[in-house]
Amino acid sequence: MLYATHPSPLGELLVAGPEPGAVASITVPGQKRGATVQPDWRRDDGAFSAVAEQLDAYFAGDLKEFDLTLATRGTDFRERVWAALDEIPYGSTVTYGGLAAMAGLDPRAVRAVGGAVGSNPLTVVHPCHRVIGADGTLTGYAGGLDRKRQLLTLEGVLGQEELQLPLYVSQ
């Protein structure tokens, strides 16, 4: 596994993947269940330059959708939920039940969907920060709720006073 680090407003990101340009993990410092550098990993600061460029553009407010080669390895269920995360439009939010429906799952599967969201290996890229509680509250973000607020503010979902969150409703 190759890895590099990249500075961001969320802290030093750990980016890893099996080969140059193929990203399997993006982790913020202190992330629950986040990847950590293993003894057999090899640092390659140039391996993820396209990832770094897109992350920089996202944090600058110039990129709304990532176009990267992904190399995640999850169960079929998790991969389905992670793919549904990618369908949540920039600047929108969805509830866990809404995400379940977007993934073609029973909306009552919110706990399992929440587990898959919490295991998302590509923070920011698979926008799990756009998933909120059924009552509109900010809940469950492996990178911490302060970072979730920061990302939703960047995307214009939250203002300075955190009024109502716009919900995206899947058709």
Q: Which of 10, 88, 102, 128 is catalytic?
A: 128
Helix ranges restricted to H, the chain: 49-59, 76-85, 96-102, 110-118, 145-154
Pair of tokens at residue 144? 């911490």
128 catalytic residue (yes or no): yes
SS3 category, 9: coil
> Measured between alpha carbons, how far is 81 from 70 in angstroms, rounded to an integer?
15
Which run of H or E residues covers position 94? strand 94-95
List the catalytic residues: 128
